[in-house]
Structure 1
């Protein structure tokens, strides 16, 4: 797509450098994204940036922190990212963006006035914020850094350990968040295979057990089955719901799963979702002895049992072996 020489970027919301802000770019990004079914992220960033008809000094402006990165393309990337969290885009494959019906609807309603306030008020974005707050407060996906106790200064070694743990903790939280996003954007059948793989990795299959993902057309409300021994005397039945953050699992879904378990004369069920559960759903599941795993716990377990992730690097942190220096 060639630059539009008639486009007046100054009509957009402007920020630093007199350049459109990231949220000022949401409307035009959606407008151009609608010209074809899907886009590679980098290609769309370039197309939008060129389309704005910026003066050369702004189009070629580089980030102060990252001299190889274009400022305007970075702002388009930010617009894409936050819009995707809010549900205005989906990412059917890695690095590929496609406008959703919600994106079309909001663009038709607000046009170039579509901004951060509007997309951050969307249910999916609000649910995302709640998830991040909960993840940060629980810190289940890694050991939280040691807190300094009042009146007890940390030693240099403890300080170093604390710094390393905090860095790893923050990084793994971001990876867990990205995992959840990737799973929500994947095919539902992929999610069913994922949860079965996870439970197998956790040891539910046992030594001689079996595991299957049930066919979509004949699952009877059961998405996966794990026999914990060769004779099938101990069986775990699985329900997997790949939902967006705002789509909270309600009590009727638990009732339906319990009905499916009853038809199988089963007493072990695990309900896994990428969203969360309502309080009524939790109470009902407890009364039925159904184990619930929400999106945050799911990604914590994936990190713990290394499903869908790889250990990037391993570090050794040394201390003095005092016993070695003991005088006989």
Structure 2
């Protein structure tokens, strides 16, 4: 069956709004990012520090300095990460999800937790669209390719964020590792057991522990997050442009990992180790999606937002669900 036929079949089963206008409706926020000369590299220093051992500014020693274009790209990733976090926090406040996360700590309820997880992932999707559109030259992709890059990889990108949050949380909590969906929603092993997704928890914690042993830096995390967005090429109309983004992220990650190995004596194979981690991220994301869908199947009163439903439809169309 052709891709267009598959889409038509999915739409007939459950009519949903067209996905393309949804992505296009977001304002183009990357217009203010013009060139390395115009970039305000000093603003990175004012961003909130997520890890005490890792400054946000992208400072390189002279002998390890990145080319101007790569430095600019990394500074952009750092700047839009702060914007992404601000937008997400604002959306959680606006939709009263923040209040629900706090209330859950006071009164634990399994159904409330399931709905909260679904709604939180949905808001992450919304913030993720805005984040992706701010990546330099992302707008050079066709609207269809932009949409597919997000729909096919969104949950993996979100899980990379969760891994970083879990690392930061473990550093604050005497090394205790948990599944941190949000700093106000930390999923314990007991909660995952109630949700019948204990396999995800154990795999996620093992991954977090491995990245902590590598002493993952914020710059490496930003590179991995961007790389994951361009990892799949299913359905793309211009694979060459996609490969250009992929090569940029891979090259930047390799240089950043090499610098950490030379200057700080960290694991010499950290670049290869981070690439191997992508397989684990994909595996966890497929099972996590399965469980989110199961929440709706097992409890029909669980509401599945339209945007998240569209994302699931696309992944199912390409056979990316477990």
TM > 0.5 fold call: no
Q: Which of the pair is proportionally richer in helix?
A: 2
Q: Which of the pair is proportionally richer in strand?
A: 1
Higher relative contact order (CA 8 A, sep 6+): 2
Higher Cα Rg, which structure: 1
Q: TM-score per shorter chain, which class?
A: under 0.3
Tell me the TM-score normalized by structure 2.
0.26
